[in-house]
Amino acid sequence: MAKGGSKTDSGEHRMVFDIRGKRRHVVKVVYAILAILMGLSLFLVTGAINVNTLFGNGGGESGSGAKIYEEQAQRIERKLVKSPEDPELLLALSRAQLNAGNQSVEQTSEGQLAITEEAVQWYREASESWSKYLAATDEPSPSGAQLIAPTFVTLAESAPSAPQFEENMTFAAEAQQIVAEKRPSLNSLSTLAIYQYFAFEPAAAEKTREEAIALTNGKFERENLENQLDEYKKRSAEAEKQLKALEKQNKELGTGKQALENPLGGLGSPSLGE
């Protein structure tokens, strides 16, 4: 069970917060950030999303799908024992772990997606394999980068601290940078700009923004993109301010586990696999 969570009599895991005293303000900040972040990883890149297409049958039938990819990951790991720096194997491992995570996402009775603790763990392992892959290759795969970038956004959304949120968004921006450099397009560049805004890299985001705007066709598309990016720029500035305030208050409350646990935990959007 994830930290900060409770389990009902029916076995359902839910995220809870202690809202006594000063913590009430912390919770308000947390939910303000969540309101900003919800859906970020699905912005524009994919358009309309079909839940069943992304996650198999969803809603309680994901276990078998996750098992398939778990076994695939285990086979690749055995091969990596002999060739630990094989970039193709590391990339394949990252994909298998990512897909296992996607299959571990649950669909609620209301049709919403719930990121499970198991899914988050798979995403962490996929991100670690991706980092090893980057160290082993001089030509990163743009398709692999496109898959892993939203995974870092999901990890940012479930980060237990402001620095970890920023770190994961930086990784997301770096992965998306690979996509944008190899496959420059309105979507890849605008998505990169958004990730850079939320990695709190405004100068880089503004540069990417101009590159994206240059690819628009006509006044309507240009103004529409500018308005959308303006909104994300504003939200990222608000998020940075709120996260700094949250981190400061967390330190004032103490450094123990009871100060604040999983401020963004369990409520993010899923990343996309194959």
pLDDT at 73: 97
Q: Is 273 left (phi over 0), alpha (psi -120 to 50) or beta?
A: beta
**What number of residues does the chain have?**
274
> pTM higher than 0.85, yes or no?
no
Are the C-beta atoms of 179 and 212 separated by less than 8 Å? no
Amino acid present at 269:
S
Q: At what angle do helices 142-157 and 162-182 cross, to 10 degrees?
A: 160
Which residue, 129, 122, 7, 12, is CA-closest to 65?
A: 122
Which residue, 187, 114, 130, 120, is CA-closest to 155?
A: 120
Residues 6+ apart with CB under 8 A from 153: 40, 41, 168, 169, 172, 195, 198, 268, 269, 271
pLDDT at 210: 97
Query: Which CATH architecture fits 20-253?
Result: Alpha Horseshoe (1.25)
> Quick one: tokens of 86?
């094989």
pLDDT at 35: 46
Going from N- to C-terminal start, the domains of the chain cover: 20-253
DSSP output for 177-199: HHHHHHS--HHHHHHHHHHHHHT
Distance from C-alpha of 104 to C-alpha of 269, rounded to nearest angstrom:
13
pLDDT at 133: 98
Which residue ranges in the chain fall short of pLDDT 70? 1-63, 254-274
> Quick one: tokens of 127?
């991100």
Distance from C-alpha of 202 to C-alpha of 236, rounded to nearest angstrom:
9
pLDDT at 254: 64
